[in-house]
Structure 1
Amino acid sequence: MVQDDGMDGRGYLEKLIADSLGAGKGQPALGRQNSFNRFEIRGVAIGLVAAGALRQEEAEQILADLEVTLQRSGWLTVVRQETSATSSGEAVARRVGIERPEWRRAIEDPPTPVLRHIVPLVGRSLTIGEVTANLVILEVWSTFLALNLAHVDIDARRMRERFGPGVRWRGWDDVGTQYRGGGGGGSGSHVLFVERCTLEPGPPEQARALTLVVEHPGGQTTVPIPLPAGQQESGTDSSG
């Protein structure tokens, strides 16, 4: 029986798929296709089943639907016989999947990310080794999170080394959503270096507490961040 721990495993997996399929709006179609990792999605499904947040049959059906949707969209042309998404290698009968219209739309017409909220982080910092960065702001988008931070140092190379591509970001929230690093970028001017780290997927509306973890050669650093209630879309009125 699925544990009642407050996490909707089915909803989370389906949103993760939709967000992943729709990621990269404006980028070349081939690049978007190559960046989608269905084996990573399968791994998440296995984890959800193991944690008791998703029934095995539900996971199998969702993954079967994903495979059919990918085939009909031209994103999956080679089909290999695979075992159950949640079994330990034992061959099982494959479920018959159906195309998910919302996933097909995400592939063919990626949704434009919507800014839900902005969480100011002024006054907080993140230390990795000898480098301390100032947290600036967390952008809460419909399909991802973006953490902005800055570092003032005469040697900007140290910032790049500590917060560069070799550093792994991940996280979770209080309703069980798992976040994975989705890239980022940085820029520097004189002694100021600014970094933007993104994580996917976007948080569910009921999430209230976010924990980010940055893993680095010297260990890892944890950053707790409260999320606003409602996760409503951010408007253009700045008078308030």
Structure 2
Amino acid sequence: MDGRGYLEKLISDGLGAGRGQPPAGRLSGFDRREIRGVAIGLVAAGALGQEEADRILADLDVTLQRSGRLNVVHAEASASATFAPVARHAGTERPEWRQAIEEPPRPVLRQVVSLAGRTLEAGELTADLVSLEVWSAFVVLTMAQEGFDPRRMRERFALRTRWRAWDDAGTQYRAGGGGGSGSHGLLVERRTFEPGPPAEARLLTVAVESADGEATVPIPLPADPPG
């Protein structure tokens, strides 16, 4: 696993996730602590060197500072499993991260994978899979439930489910928002996972757990078309 590439892409996607929002709210969902936790995990797994992880985190702080999104940078522990204090790296602003903050890139649709004929069953959650949209910064799983009663919409979304996803390149995905709409006796639901898959990923696995069941769905990821 390319730990450096994964961490840098995670940061870049996170910084650019606020497209369409007012400037003041673009980074409301960006959590530096989560990024630092991922860095610590990569170092502990041997996928990223400690010095390199510290340098990336220092660059992130400098970039946030100079963009006005981080007013004070406190001394923090190194990105190591033991949290051993180290001398702080100077850090350098990353132009591509600054641009992601100021001008979030427009998500690019790379592939749409048909899942027609496949189903998902996890306790009370039973649905026909429709498709997986592969975007540059996220993926979207679409599924449909037949015979749905619109009067039970609130009950349906009150189900306690936990969604996770990972790929064969070592990427761990965060479950984002979900939503649905009903028509013609169908409830069509969309589930978002971030970040977008790296170019080398060829298999995405989506897992869902409910109070009375769980299921995993392996989804092949085709290579991007040339050009």
TM score, norm. by length of structure 1:
0.87
How far apart in 2 are the matches of 1:232 and 1:114? 15
C-alpha offsets along residues 2-47 of structure 1, whole Å, 9 cap, x if unaligned? xxxxx11100110110001000210122322211111111111111
Aligned counterpart, 1:43: 37
Matched residue, 1:209: 203
Question: What is aligned with 2:172?
Answer: 178
Which residue of 2 is the match for residue 236 of structure 1? none
Task: Select which of 207, 223, 229 maps to 2:217.
Answer: 223
Are 1:94 and 2:88 counterparts?
Answer: yes
Aligned partner of 2:77 in structure 1 is 83
Q: How does 1:154-193 map to 2 (within 5 A)?
A: 154-156=148-150, 161=155, 166-189=160-183, 191-193=185-187
- The alpha-carbon distance between structure 1 residues 76 and 158, as it changes in their structure 2 partners (threshold 3 A), is same
> 1: distance between equivalents of 2:27 and 2:19?
12
Going from structure 1 to structure 2, the CA distance change for 1:231 and 1:32 (only over 3 Å counts) comes to farther
- Specify whether residues 109 and 126 from structure 1 end up closer, same or farther in structure 2 by C-alpha distance, changes over 3 A only: same
Once the two structures are superposed, what CA deviation does each residue of 1:197-234 show, in whole Å capped at 9, x if it has no partner?
1111111111111111123333532110001023668x
Instruction: Report the Cα offset of residue 170 of structure 1.
Output: 1.9
Secondary structure in structure 2 of the residue aligned to 1:213: strand
Structure 1 residues 12 and 224: CA distance shift in structure 2, 3 A: same
SS in structure 2 at match of 1:119: strand
Aligned CA distance change for structure 1 residues 80 and 216 (closer, same or farther; 3 Å): farther
TM-score normalised according to structure 2 size: 0.92
Letter in 1 for 2:129: L
Q: Which runs of 5+ in 2 are unaligned?
A: none
- The SS at the match of 1:33 is coil
Q: Which residue of 2 aligns with 1:33?
A: 27
Deviation at 1:157, TM superposition (A): 6.5
User: What is the alpha-carbon distance in structure 2 between the residues aligned to residue 27 and residue 202 of structure 1?
Assistant: 20
What is the count of residue pairs matched by the alignment?
A: 227
CA distance, structure 1, for counterparts of residue 101 and residue 31 of structure 2 = 14
**Matches of 2:122 and 2:140 in 1, distance apart?**
19
Percent identity (aligned)? 67
1:65 corresponds to 2:94 = no
Q: Which residue of 1 aligns with 2:126?
A: 132
CA, structure 1 residues 84+78, in 2 after alignment: closer, same or farther (shift >3 Å)? same
- Distance, in Å, in 2 between the alignment partners of 1:132 and 1:70 is 43
Amino acid at match of 2:200: Q
Structure 1 unaligned blocks of 5 or more:
1-6, 234-240
2:217 partner amino acid: V
